[in-house]
Structure 1
Amino acid sequence: MHKILANTVFLGKDIVYMTECHSTNDIAAEKLRNGSAKEGSIIITDKQTNGRGQRGNKWYSEPEKNLTFSLVLTPNFLKAMEQFELNKVVSLAVRDALSVYTEGVCVKWPNDIVHQSRGKIGGILIENTISKEKLESSIIGIGLNINQTEFPFPGPVSMANLAGGVLNKCQVLESILIHLEKRYLQLKKKNFAAIHMDYWQHLYQKEQWCHYEDIAGEFSGRIRAVNQQGMLEIEKTDESINLYAHKEVRFL
């Protein structure tokens, strides 16, 4: 799992493999601070003991079965107000790579990876450092259920469940990085319209009447848009339009 990848330009040329660590994002942040990490550096582990999801949620993964890694990017060509574009390209790259193995892989707002009918495959946690209204650095944590076939609670699904057999984790990782490099170069060109079109095309539950919950309670609504700041626009049955930031609305 720790060999240098040959089919990428800058991602995966510096890989730090750890049999166990508390959080790959925390290790990446520490290496970024002390200057031992650069753009494209990757921290990967077989066992993460204190993984984090969005807004502090815990991420649990069976040791040695799945992919748990963080990578460092320095997208200083992006303004702070454009940071959700990075979320889009990372989510799309993971979806692109996993779609080789099975149909029905979608991006669930803001950046979970799900199967359209079977459940959650994984999640992405992006931690940005901003300086002078620009992104200085980004640490991208990715956790994906690859070969774990049983889960202690309902909701998750693995690629092995979906594809009907064990996958080669090294090949999946390399595919993700190849797709991410392509998407990142697209982002550098600021081709935001094409990126948004792809994100919208593969967005889970878009324009479908579904059940949600916000601070006021449960409701039926349909996703109408995702704005430039990454907020989700949902139309309710009373024709009102609500905008939601992360964790302000829950999919039921």
Structure 2
Amino acid sequence: MVFLPQCHSTNDELVQMTRKSNEPEGTLVYTDDQQMGKGQRGNAWITEPGKNILMSVLLRPNFLSPSNQFYLNLISGLAIVDTLKSHVTSEVLLKWPNDVFINGNKISGVLIENNLRGNRLESAVVGIGINVNQQGFRINTATSLVMETNIEFDRNELIETLLCRLEKWYLQLKNGSTTYILDEYHKLLMWRGEVKIFKSKNEEFEGEIVGIDQHGKLAINQDGNLRTFGIKEVEFMR
């Protein structure tokens, strides 16, 4: 367990540590102030120092084929939901591919950086950010535990809970319970069964989210035609 009062990115720090030495699975890096936190699509994850959970965990999922690496996103999201749902009355949902929402606002995100060696998944750095005690954000589509509950939380206790939940889901994955994991993810998938507007390659279209397929792609029903999209291939519009 490594605590850094300030760093550019916990993911970057843990990746560098792993390159320099054979860090054990479960190694944790966390910080109070992340200067260059990263999100999906190259977005920045910007938070107020000392208020939130900013952490990265090292996994060594060599039992997992590279084609199934997306399951790491699923179990990370499920672990976060498990951690948060006991503290809020509102429903906690997962927005594909790996954001966590409460009341239509983002409270958490995941960024996983995998290291492949040949046809083997050698290691994975799981970066998790959770808005905990921050009262306001630059954008109005973000929320935090304190904003949802009017209660300040002990971040270290939340981290301990989160690590326990992540271990639980990781062991499910290690035991081959992929069908169960996928079913549980689908139960929490935001907008599943709803018709929404999407954008892909400058084309806007209407479709219904069906779920995710066996490759981790988002499956959308467009007028009876099932289309699948990777992470950077489709955007939610409205």
Work out whether 1:112 is the aligned partner of 2:99.
yes
Work out whether 1:19 is the aligned partner of 2:5.
yes
Secondary structure, counterpart of 1:177 in structure 2: helix
Name the CA distance, whole Å, in 2 between partners of 1:187 and 1:219: 35
Q: 85-94 or 216-225: which moved more?
A: 216-225
| Aligned residues: CA RMSD | 1.2
Q: Show CA shifts across 1:23-49 (max 9, x none).
A: 111110111011162100001000000
Matched residue, 1:121: 107
**2:192 alignment partner AA:** K
Name the CA distance, whole Å, in 1 between partners of 2:29 and 2:20: 15
Work out whether 1:70 is the aligned partner of 2:56.
yes
**1:174 positional shift:** 0.9
Runs of 4+ aligned structure 1 residues displaced above 4 Å come to none
Secondary structure, counterpart of 2:151 in structure 1: coil
**1:221 positional shift:** 1.5
Matched residue, 1:243: 228
Could you tell me whether the CA contact under 8 Å between 2:189 and 2:211 is conserved in 1? no
Name the CA distance, whole Å, in 2 between partners of 1:61 and 1:228: 34
What TM-score does the superposition give when structure 1 sets the normalisation length?
0.90
Work out whether 1:161 is the aligned partner of 2:153.
no
Matched residue, 2:157: 171
Name the CA distance, whole Å, in 2 between partners of 1:221 and 1:129: 34
The equivalences for 1:65-214 within 5 A come to 65-102=51-88, 103-115=90-102, 117-214=103-200
**1:156 positional shift:** 0.7
Work out whether 1:224 is the aligned partner of 2:210.
yes
**1:240 alignment partner AA:** N
Q: 238-247 or 193-202: which moved more?
A: 238-247
Name the CA distance, whole Å, in 2 between partners of 1:58 and 1:224: 29
Could you tell me whether the CA contact under 8 Å between 1:28 and 1:37 is conserved in 2? no
Name the CA distance, whole Å, in 2 between partners of 1:189 and 1:136: 18
Name the CA distance, whole Å, in 2 between partners of 1:80 and 1:118: 32
Q: Which runs of 5+ in 2 are unaligned?
A: none
What TM-score does the superposition give when structure 2 sets the normalisation length?
0.95
Q: Show CA shifts across 1:73-92 (max 9, x none).
A: 10000011111111111110
Name the CA distance, whole Å, in 2 between partners of 1:250 and 1:44: 30
Q: 211-220 or 37-46: which moved more?
A: 211-220
Q: Which runs of 5+ in 1 are unaligned?
A: 1-14
**1:155 positional shift:** 0.9
